[in-house]
Amino acid sequence: MEEKTYYTAKEVLQKLGITHSALRNKVNTGQIRSIIPPGKRQAVYLKEDVDRLRHADEGEYYTAKEAQEVLGMTYSALRNQVEAKTIRSFIPKGKRQAVYVKEDVDQLARELKIFMATKKRNPTTFMKATTREEVFETTKLSDAIFGGHIDVDRQMRWLQKNPDLIYIAKNEGKVVGYAIILPLSHEKIEKLLREEELVVDAEPEEIGDFKKGEIVHLYMGAIGVIPGVTIAEKRAYGAKLVSGLIKAIIDLGRRGVIIKTITARSTKPDGIRLLRGLGFTELLSTTEKKNFMIDIEKSGIKEIMQYKQALRESGVFSFPEELNDLPEILPREETEATP
């Protein structure tokens, strides 16, 4: 007889002694996985998840403190792993505090240990994409992550207009992540947010320059990491991209480039979580994608404050009470007279 691999909702309620509402909550938080079998209408629930909750004992899970010690991370980082569904957590019957599945914690700890050992031997580097080969590698990543064809020739023309647009993370000589930031007009960005136009179709003449004393609006055209790697690798490559982008933005401040807004959008859970974690404010959206923006003048995000300090030290500009009172481009004689 074939071993049963799932339970019905009625069976789960009986075995765990919970309500329908509690069952939905456990599904939504990833504690119990559910599927709808072909030809059926009702969801069923994976037996291994239900049995794990039912028979949990001291040897099958860690407390938050124990999990933090095993992984060497903060409680906040631990909860991020739960939200990313890398680690499953649950609240045992009769308890108030969540515990963390030992199998998941130990597996992540092994991955982190292996990755950190590899990272010491082969560190990941962050740099601008400058060659056609590097741009081609980013387009392959884009196709793998987001789908759709990217015009390499068009992106090379972008770089001819402004060489500071496309960034890559490399490990052992291989492109493992990329990011694109584009200085565009406010009107162009509004059209992108409404999906009246696509960023991949942007013409080189629509892309601005990074010139001392001029105001720009930045649009994050894309950010992605190579698929098919471990969670530890994915997060490390992503962290390298983010830290590199932050440094690039601070460097624009040192060059006297006045950034007014940074806008981004995403449908991917990882992308949405990243943007929220960075401090972006969510905007209303008329499409399935979520829109986000940072108003540089008003932002108190640590990294944005570093950018503003760098801009102040450039001698070009200190933010006034109302940035909207400034023209989009400062008078040429004023910028040229600036030391």
CATH 3.40.630.30 segments of the chain: 125-337
Q: Answer whether 175's CB lies under 8 Å from 138's CB.
A: yes
pLDDT, position 119: 61
Query: How much of the chain, in percent, has pLDDT values that exceed 70?
Result: 88
Q: Provide the 10 A C-beta neighbour count for residue 313.
A: 12
Nearest to 67 by CA among 31, 96, 106: 106
**What's the whole-number mean pLDDT along residues 193-197?**
92
Check whether 322 has a pLDDT greater than 60.
Answer: no
pLDDT, position 209: 94
- Residue 330 is which amino acid? L
Q: Answer whether 83's CB lies under 8 Å from 200's CB.
A: no
Q: pLDDT tens digits, residue range 135-156?
A: 999 988 888 888 777 889 999 9
- Phi, psi at residue 104, to the nearest 5°? -70, -45
Angstrom distance (rounded) from CA 306 to CA 313: 11
**What's the whole-number mean pLDDT along residues 301-314?**
91
- Phi, psi at residue 210, to the nearest 5°? -100, 90
pLDDT, position 178: 94
pLDDT, position 261: 95
Q: For residue 135, give Cα distances in angstroms to 178, 229, 271.
A: 9, 21, 21
For residue 182, what pLDDT band results from cuts at 50, 70 and 90?
A: very high
* Cα distance from N-terminal residue to C-terminal residue, the chain: 83
* Domain 125-337 classification at class level: alpha beta
Query: How much of the chain, in percent, has pLDDT values that exceed 90?
Result: 35
Check whether 339 has a pLDDT greater than 70.
Answer: no
Mean pLDDT taken over the chain = 83
For residue 60, what pLDDT band results from cuts at 50, 70 and 90?
A: confident
**What's the whole-number mean pLDDT along residues 80-87?**
81
| Claim: this prediction has a pTM higher than 0.75 | no
